[in-house]
Structure 1
Amino acid sequence: MSLREKIESLIIGLGLTSTRFADYIGVNRPIISHILSGRNKASLEIIQKIVSKFPELGFNWISDDEELDMDIVAQIVKNKDFNALFSSFYSSRESNENKSPDNDTEILNSQAFKNGNKTIQKIVVFYTDNTFSTFDPS
């Protein structure tokens, strides 16, 4: 599993969007987007920011020989209430965005379901009891 795939699995396992993940670790949103699309590789600075926010991971998970331990990710989710962390941040941000022209739905739909010529193949949801569900849009 590549580092890009591990970061993607971490984001999914935490139940975050890439934008919320970027906000949480304190990097610009396009940086995470470029890593997930394969355009750029994760820098040492990004890895350090991830580990500083999620010290439970340690640094071993970045090694090619190591897999991302989803049990640790589930424990992180159990210990952190991401909804509470982001509720005030996003409610104030959304109120500012609502003052702009009303094309939010089109933007959200295009970002949620398309990335260039890519379409969603599968969505995996991880629960706090270490179970998961897989959703196939077809």
Structure 2
Amino acid sequence: MVNIEDFIKRLEIILDYYSLNASSFADKIGVQRSSLSHLLSGRNKPSLDFILKILEVYPEVDLYWILNGKGTFPKNVFAAEKRENQAEEVFKQNTPTLFAEEKISNNLFSETQNSINRNALETEKMINKNTKEAFSGEVEKIVFFYKNGTFKVFNPN
């Protein structure tokens, strides 16, 4: 159950964060000013529709944070970047590499060995370039799945 006093405090934090007064906030999320006033005074409890409108207009607001204070506001951008970096690492690990054992030579000054290494590296660069081009299609949408069972769809267009 949502503690209404704590909810009001979190709603005021959102207003302060975006430097909005209650009237402009109500206008932005598409609710009547009087309904927001009744919420802030503690007279009414927030409806699901009201919460969803906030989340739609302000994606930085975390659902669990606004409802029960768990999580962070604004959403942790660092965690999202970390997940993106992890996805890049998975891609790199699954990208084929050729001649990996030939990259390290026993004698760095050996002309023959170095030319073999150069050829192997050039071949690998060409393969990596072709692999990247195969995956360079236009992105339609990205879906983030969170551990709490929620998800968010990002459309880059």
- TM-score of Structure 1 vs Structure 2, range by shorter chain: 0.3 to 0.5
* Bigger relative CO (Cα 8 Å, ≥ 6 apart): 1
Scaled by the length of structure 1, the TM-score of the pair is 0.47
**Which has more radius of gyration?**
2
Scaled by the length of structure 2, the TM-score of the pair is 0.41
